[in-house]
Structure 1
């Protein structure tokens, strides 16, 4: 997928660069893999590197399921700070299964997973605390909670009540909180 050097914007997200996608077989078949490599790829100005590997791990035909593994992940933000990341989680499709050629009605959930982000100064671990929900038609997670541990952040991110918006709440272990509207 080539987003070009000037980029494409959809749902308030601007992507630039290329995603090189290799598929081992029909992604709907159990055992099939899709490997995504990033080439000069950025999202809203932050450069993303590394390899994403999806593996179809479906055991019940009516509940499609994939594992997602990130290897050699690296994010360089707009200020030039570098963050490496790795992790593994499982994604289930919970809606849109009956319409395989219509993506806009798909809804996905992540019941479990761990992701670690490391910078020059600290390490941060994110663990799914309450199932995360992501609608294909929305650019953002709309529901669920993440446990965040490391450095100055030790608390919970709550993505809200399933609205398609940029809002989330972070509640620190000492009870203080922060409401964001990215």
Structure 2
């Protein structure tokens, strides 16, 4: 759970250790050091700083969470699980700033990736339905709520879906 700079420093240390081990004919140590450096590189590409950002996000430190998320150069290279959380956090940060277009964009992407569970995915769809209502698109909101109904497991989520459906039906009439 290191930031970008910390991972780069660790990779450099292990790479240097591998070179020193080769210089002293310690090939097993060189292999271990090179493997650790490669593992950290893989972790940097596939996992990045999403876990560290989620820690800040859960503590409602959205500024710091966004700073850590900005360290991710290529979100398309993240693993499926990390990409979903990355997009979910980006969308929620955009919602807090009332940047609804960006929030909708990130929620759309988050809906394509696995999240924690069915209920989490239902909340993504609920957010999308709310954003559709904000745009006065009742039909889109109803489609999102139908999909969210299939996934919702908590009574709170089901209640929110019912409220959105009522608002969408008022808007459609």
What TM-score does the superposition give when structure 1 sets the normalisation length? 0.26
Larger RCO, structures 1/2 (Cα 8 Å, 6+ apart): 2
What TM-score does the superposition give when structure 2 sets the normalisation length? 0.27
Q: Give the number of the structure whose residues are more often helix, by fraction.
A: 2
